[in-house]
Structure 1
Amino acid sequence: MKLFTFLTLMIVFTAVAVPVVLAQDAFRVKGGAADDFTDSQGRVWHGAQQEDQAWGGWLEKEPRTAEVATLTADAQAQAAEAGYDVELFYAVSWAQFPDTVKYQFKTGDGTFDVIYLVGEHWSPNNRGFDIIIEGEVVEALYVTPGKDEIDIRTYESIEVTDGTLDFDFAGNAETGAGDLNAMFSALEVLPAVSTAVDAKAKLATTWGALKGNRQ
């Protein structure tokens, strides 16, 4: 009986615990770079100018790159407050309209929070495009910030059911902006917080039920 209970516990623990481990995975890319970058917190940001890697890469057409030569003091403070190294904002991957910037992360199925980071180097408050994730426009008519400024946007609870998380940044004339060349400085994909919490809660509940059955 004890052996049966132990085996049951191991099976349930494996089935429930694995999603919790997977929920710790994160996907990060640094725009305008071919080489990986390790930030001050030890997080690895893959170079965005890579194609078809184990983690993902650009799709269809390699993006162009550009340097963001300077950032204002306010922009640097904003990056630090949000927990990001300023180095992430000093370059961009971009596409010349009507081309779009397309990326894919091999996340597996799940629910994710996506953070979009950008530093503006050329068209202050005059670069307009749609931000599309998993085929859905999560932000229409987006306009980048002023020159040498940054912006950080979070899009929560993006559901993936086909194993890959797809991005498309597409210029949109309806923004009224004079520059329709879409771009980004960095992208970060994290398991949705609610998903990780729910999995842990389920594990705790299951463990409690099994423990009760043994008594």
Structure 2
Amino acid sequence: MRRSLFFLILIAVYAAVMIVHDAGSAEEIRVWGGKMDDFKDSDGRIWHGGQNEKKAWGGWVEKLPRTAEVVALTKEAEKLAKAEGYDKELFYAVSWAQFPDTVKMELNTGKGMFTVTYLVGEHWSPNNRGFDIIIEDEIVEEEYVTPGQNEIDIIRYEGIEVKDKVMSFEFAGNPKTGAGDLNAMFSGIEVIPALAVDPKQKLATTWGTLKGARN
């Protein structure tokens, strides 16, 4: 009986340690487009420059994106950015590709489930830029069309799973949108680990169950 209980405890502890390890390996990563330098926002979060490649956090792949600047944002755009918790400066530039080229990024997130937020500020083609947003080789936003000039968009995608420790992105122009501009782009990418269960809570629950069985 004691031997069986001992092995149960070992298995439970091992499982809990693995959960904590996997959770700890998932990384928060933020990237802002059109820039080389990092940016620290008003909450102290670091946004890496999207014009970099082969950094510890990741970078662009295959072809260096082009850059463009958003001269100004509308008042409504500024209000939306503030309400969503983002500094307006994040929307002033973009990394983009001239169709049929695409913008490709790889982020070293580690394995796990993530919530991804896509940020964009439209600088040139109001309601006339169409492309697909692809994450981990899956189209998460098909035939997306950007907002009006000097306006912004913020879109979240939940439940993005990474199995190989690297999250891939591709922004690819799609003629099916009917838009006149197929040059895909982004202003910001935010990747946050999404834990279904708090590892510490999982460990406490498992140990509590074993104690109950022992008594």
Q: What's the TM-score once normalised by structure 1's chain length?
A: 0.89
AA aligned to 2:51 is Q
Gap runs ≥5 in structure 2: none
Contact kept? 2:114, 2:160, Cα under 8 Å: yes
Aligned to 2:52: 50
Give the share of equivalent positions with the same residue, in percent: 63
> 1:78 aligns to what SS in structure 2?
helix
CA separation in 2, counterparts of 1:16 and 1:136?
Answer: 26
Matching residue's letter, 2:203: L
Offset from partner CA, 1:43-100 (integer Å, 9 cap, x none): 1110001101111100000000111110001000000000111110000000011100
Aligned length: 209
- Which amino acid in 2 is paired with 1:101? V
What is aligned with 1:124?
126
How many Å separate the matches in 1 of 2:202 and 2:170?
Answer: 35
Mapped to 2, the partners of 1:95 and 1:85 lie a distance apart of 24
Shift of 1:167: 0.4
3-state SS in 1 of match to 2:197: helix
TM-score calculated relative to the size of structure 2: 0.89
Matched with 2:19 is 16
Summarize deviations over 1:152-174 as a string: whole Å, max 9, x none. 01111111112211001000111
Task: Read off the aligned partner of 2:206 and give its amino acid letter.
Answer: T
Q: d(CA) in 1 for partners of 2:48 and 2:183?
A: 22
Task: Give the superposition deviation at 1:15.
Answer: 2.9
Structure 1 stretch 71-80 or stretch 103-112: which is displaced more?
103-112
Unpaired runs of 5+ in structure 1? Answer: none
Q: Which residue does 2:98 correspond to in 1?
A: 96
CA distance in 2, matches of 1:171, 1:155: 19
1:111 to 105, 108, 113: 113
RMSD: 2.1
Give the CA deviation at 1:214: 6.7
**Contact 2:71-2:92 at 8 Å conserved across structures:** yes
**Structure 2: distance between partners of 1:32 and 1:132:** 19
Aligned partner letter, 1:21? G
Q: Specify the SS of the correspondent of 2:90.
A: helix
